[in-house]
Structure 1
Amino acid sequence: MNRRKAIAGILLLGGAAAAGTAGVTYRRLSRTPDLGQLDTHRELIAELAETLIPETDTPGAKSAGVGDCIITLVKDCTPKKAQNRFINGLLDVADHCRSKYGKTFMECNASQRSEVMTHIEKQGKPLPGILGKVSGKIMGDDFYATFKKYAIIGYCTSQQGATKEMAYEYIPGRFKGCVPLQPGQKCWATD
């Protein structure tokens, strides 16, 4: 009889602790975000975007102005929970760089930057199955998912990305729904 009470007590205590932790996390993500953090981390956002979309024979994210676009999209088009997760993600990137390398992200070399990007991608990986979907609805999108989505949107809609990375046709002709691409041909971007 005492064993059953002990097991029930342990389960009750564990459930209460899990509910309390989830409640604190939800409350932390539901508060009004400090959007001023985005402006103070403007250089970090631009460097993260440049690491994701580097300059090669085509312009990179920095020359396309993707950092400013990401900040605008986070401020104006992102739900409050995802804004908080984005800001927390920026702080986590800065903390990870300081703890692992003893320097800021901007001072890291290319391989260290690549490792940091891999780290934040793994950290933001959603739970599998229905738990991941529920977590995404309740907690909002994680930092890496939001960052990557906005970086790609910012780059592909910029003049540099649309005209130099993609085959841009200012005044397209008639609509052709299925056009096969030739080997080495760029994807299409139309106005």
Structure 2
Amino acid sequence: MIIDRRSALIGVAAMFGSNLFTPIARAAARDAQPIIDTGKPSVPVFTPVQHATMVALSERVIPTTDTPGAIAAGVPDYIDKLLADWSLPEERIPIVAGLDAVEARSKGDYKISAARATVAQQDALLTAAMEDRFTGGADFFDKFRQLVITGYYTSEIGMTQEREYLPVPAEYDGAFLYSKINKVYSA
């Protein structure tokens, strides 16, 4: 059996527990309609500046290393689609307001748009959000991080390159050394 995005979404959503961002929970629901697709978002959610900031910051949450990062995995498109089609307008506020606050902070601190800031500056902006050093920062960071992680680990890249998909795992070996594990496996 090949895993589909909804099944992966249910598994990833479980790791966030009761703090799960509502649109992710809504999309993960077993009886959710319509089926999640990869089409265009039904409504625009972000301004061009907000979108560019969202793209740049998603790559900082899961950067390209020896495996592809958030951008290569299509996380920005996932975030666009999830917020457009699976969230209520009021649920988008922490993300949109947070991106605006990050942009304002970047222009204030670095005199440059957050999307054009250096990697170190973008990391500092995310740290400021995480540590709630601007209004709504921690709430934005928590929800944004959930969106990026969920988008990444339910993507084909996340399921097949970052993790290793084994449709039929090998036999059980209770004495297998943890030090021999190279990747986390998903089923």
Checking the alignment, whether the CA contact within 8 Å between 1:42 and 1:68 is kept in structure 2 is no
Counterpart pick for 1:103 among 83, 106, 112: 112
The residue aligned with 1:54 is 63
Measured after TM superposition, the shift of residue 146 of structure 1 is 1.2
* Structure richer in helix, relative to its length: 1
The residue aligned with 1:36 is 44
Cα deviation 1:127-152 (Å, max 9, x = unaligned):
xxxxxxxxxxxx9x922111111100
Measured after TM superposition, the shift of residue 175 of structure 1 is 9.8
Checking the alignment, whether the CA contact within 8 Å between 1:64 and 1:160 is kept in structure 2 is yes
Higher relative contact order (CA 8 A, sep 6+): 2
The residue aligned with 1:119 is 128
User: How many Å separate the matches in 2 of 1:69 and 1:151?
Assistant: 9
The residue aligned with 1:149 is 146
Cα deviation 1:113-165 (Å, max 9, x = unaligned):
1100101111289xxxxxxxxxxxxx9x9221111111001100111111111
TM-score by length of 2: 0.65
Q: Give me the identity figure in percent.
A: 26
Gap regions ≥5 residues in structure 2: 1-42
Checking the alignment, whether the CA contact within 8 Å between 2:45 and 2:83 is kept in structure 1 is no
Letter in 1 for 2:76: G
RMSD: 2.8
Measured after TM superposition, the shift of residue 39 of structure 1 is 5.2
Measured after TM superposition, the shift of residue 111 of structure 1 is 1.2
Checking the alignment, whether the CA contact within 8 Å between 2:45 and 2:84 is kept in structure 1 is no
Measured after TM superposition, the shift of residue 179 of structure 1 is 9.6
Letter in 1 for 2:160: T
TM-score by length of 1: 0.64
- How many residues align? The count is 140
Cα deviation 1:15-60 (Å, max 9, x = unaligned):
xxxxxxxxxxxxxxxxxxxx63425232221111101111011111
Change (3 A) 1:117 1:181: farther
Counterpart pick for 2:178 among 164, 182, 187: 182
Gap regions ≥5 residues in structure 1: 1-34, 126-138
